[in-house]
Amino acid sequence: MMESSVSSTHGAEDSLVQCTESEDFAPSKLGTKEYWDEAYKRELQTYKDIGDVGEIWFGEESVDRVIRWIEAQHVSENAAILDIGTGNGMFLLELANHGFSNLTGIDYSKAAVELAINILEEEGFRNVKIQVEDFLNPSTELKGFDVCIDKGTFDAISLSPEDREEAKKHYVTSLRTVMQPGGFFIITSCNWTKEQLLQIFNPGT
């Protein structure tokens, strides 16, 4: 069974849960766009056929846990929140259900974006912005976020068969570009320990 760790950074080194030790991991197809395009094409078709929203990565409890944490920080319902690699958009849906109103989701898979838009619209949330973006090369309009969430996306990027050290560096640079100074970054990961994440994202700098 995969264990997940959740870390948040906001200057101080606080975290939601203790992380587990991670083992070294090899490059994988989960680190490729082709994999996600195929996966979300299938999930989109399944959603259209039978209304199944597809995989909830790390389970619903992981989403609830992050939302409880955000609410405990008294983050305003108008805060600009970005879901990085939103997939089927279920995190955005839960945030919208909790009253958060300034939500953006991005994913580099067009099929994922279409799936997320379909699900959010079906649930009556037409004002959630969901767009195709490669987070490693974000558009200049993607900026000013008070809260950035990542559930499984940095993990996927870390599995890239290409130059993953470079990819990780790009991710950190993009994060700095899109976040407001003093914003929150909340990451759920099953590949990295809390200590590793704090080292990679170096909060407070």
Shortest Å distance, C-beta 174 to ligand SAM: 9
Q: Which is nearer to ligand SAM, 123 or 134 (CB)?
A: 134
Please name the residues in contact with 109: beta carbons below 8 A apart, sequence gap of 6 or more: 33, 36, 37, 39, 40, 132
Given the rule CB under 6 A, which residues bind ligand SAM?
A: 36, 57, 85-88, 91, 106-109, 112, 134-136, 151-153, 156-157
In the complex with ligand SAM, which residue's Cβ is closer, 11 or 28? 28
Can you tell me the distance from the alpha carbon of 111 to that of 113, in angstroms, rounded to the nearest whole number? 5
Complete edge-to-edge strand list for the sheet that includes strand 80-84: 5-9, 179-189, 145-151, 80-84, 102-107, 129-132
Distance CA 181, CA 144 (A): 9
Least distance in angstroms from the C-beta of 204 to ligand SAM: 25
Q: How far is the CB of 173 from ligand SAM (least distance, A)?
A: 13
For the bound state, the minimum distance from the C-beta of residue 90 to ligand SAM, rounded and expressed in Å, comes to 6
**Size (the chain), residues:** 205
Question: Which residue, 54 or 183, is less far from ligand SAM as judged by CB?
Answer: 54
